[in-house]
Structure 1
């Protein structure tokens, strides 16, 4: 008897280089102080309160979100309200018309300025293919579609946006890559193929991860800024703590430390240093950044 090997569902377009992006971008709370609290009611409704104090401006912004999920019937409703007086609604229907098909309606309203936005979105995923489409009703309107196909670890993806009113393609991007359990390599052509990004992720062992990303921007005003290189690593100290570090070709060194204080409570500290200005006291507040985040989940 022969056994047919089924390809897994590939990542979506936005998660094409997720492993390296998370390694180099997450757990560095250097922009300010963040407090996030998540709780769940007995009826399954989850609440999330997020507060952020920006170090540069000193402004404090908040967000209150409630989400009801009916997993049995594939339905979810999310409503949120921010201190900027933005009201957001998100309705999700999954596996109703076809297995693997998800339909979404995402809307936002700013009453003070009578500004509104609405997106109709759909996602379809099956072994070997992952596609997304959305129609922005008030911006354009613009129709955007992307697709990622995968087989035996090899990935290929594309994204395009079409301006319905203007009758033209307003954006297009391409990507290719390879994913394995311990490492991933991706190459992306973004900004109508004016910017190219190559990334690499490697899980060295159970305690150490490493990654790098190189970006070439052909439209940069100066030749010195056209190429940017960033390398980083993550090391688990134990089951409850890890340290992350990264540095880029501009000389910005970042350090992050995350500690699980107890189940459901996590604290992170972040530090960013401009190594080119370590000896200069002038503009040190701008060159160097410190931040922290505290997360509660119950």
Structure 2
């Protein structure tokens, strides 16, 4: 709160004095310097979530999360195939510890296929916006080992990533770059197999993004193409469109999707494509931290012939 010294003379006229004292400094607001774009893999995240998230098709999944008293985050996942001739069960357990003062994150994962993975990352300590991650995995059943290094650098207008699989036969390098300005984003991704001394994959993408919409177009080898549109019509309704086609032939796939929040605890999703598949998903919060999702995929091209699939998911956050 400001305190002004009153130096007005007795006649009431204003004395233009410089005696103006503030007990606290003026608050100066800084204008944003620019958008930090998402990584290349996340350029169409909102579109992908609309068509894939909470669609548990063909399996039942239980996802449990909790945090211990000393801040260790624990996550357990159990998954069982439904309706397949050779159903497979899978489970994993993850421990995550974050030391924010050092920018350090440690993650340990163990899965029922006897795969143990360790991950350590450091962020924003050596360089602002930079993150370095080391991963190491061991298969207790086969004895196979793998390791990888990941680097990411993000600042306003640019996001760079490089992943290196440390294979003794020849590392595989994956690099990407995304630049953005005024909501317009352009990016590329390339995969280099050093054992073959060849580029095995490259992608390009162009799009626009904002708080309520996303436009995305991408290509792989200038042979396979994808396009997508996402729009949050209002706080309760999201709609989207996506298309995939290839110059080498095959059917062009078009799909429409939507999500509607019935209330703060329930939402329903639906999607329909040109193949005749209709997907429906319903999510209900049973209580705080507990969500149940029921999903189905109906083969509309042959309603009486079967081929319909279903699944469910249970998320528990305690």
TM-score, reference length from structure 2: 0.87
Relative contact order (C-alpha < 8 Å, sep 6+): which is higher?
1
1:163 matched to 2:193? The reply is yes
Please list, as runs of the form range in 1=range in 2, the aligned pairs for 1:97-176 lying within 5 A after superposition. 97-138=126-167, 140-176=170-206
Query: Which segment is superposed worse, 17-26 or 56-65?
Result: 56-65
Q: Give, in angstroms, the shift of residue 127 of structure 1.
A: 0.8
Give CA-to-partner distance per residue, 1:137-181, whole Å, 9 cap, x none: 117311111011000000000001112222222211100000122
Q: Which residue of 2 aligns with 1:66?
A: 95
Secondary structure at 1:43's aligned position in 2? coil
Q: Which residue of 2 aligns with 1:213?
A: 242
Q: Give, in angstroms, the shift of residue 18 of structure 1.
A: 0.6
Please list, as runs of the form range in 1=range in 2, the aligned pairs for 1:44-55 lying within 5 A after superposition. 44-55=71-82
Q: Give, in angstroms, the shift of residue 4 of structure 1.
A: 5.6
Structure 2 gap ranges (5+): 1-27
Q: Aligned partners of 1:112, 1:79: CA distance in 2, in Å?
A: 18
Structure 1 gap ranges (5+): none
Give CA-to-partner distance per residue, 1:6-45, whole Å, 9 cap, x none: 2110111110101110001101111211111111001110
TM-score, reference length from structure 1: 0.93
Q: Which residue of 1 aligns with 2:264?
A: 239
Q: Which residue of 2 aligns with 1:264?
A: 289
Q: Which residue of 2 aligns with 1:19?
A: 46
Q: Give, in angstroms, the shift of residue 97 of structure 1.
A: 1.2
Q: 1:290 to 1:163 in 2, by over 3 A?
A: same
1:38 maps to which of 50, 62, 65: 65
Secondary structure at 2:54's aligned position in 1? coil
Greater Cα radius of gyration, structure 1 or 2: 2
Q: Which residue of 2 aligns with 1:288?
A: 308
- 4+ long deviations beyond 6 Å: none
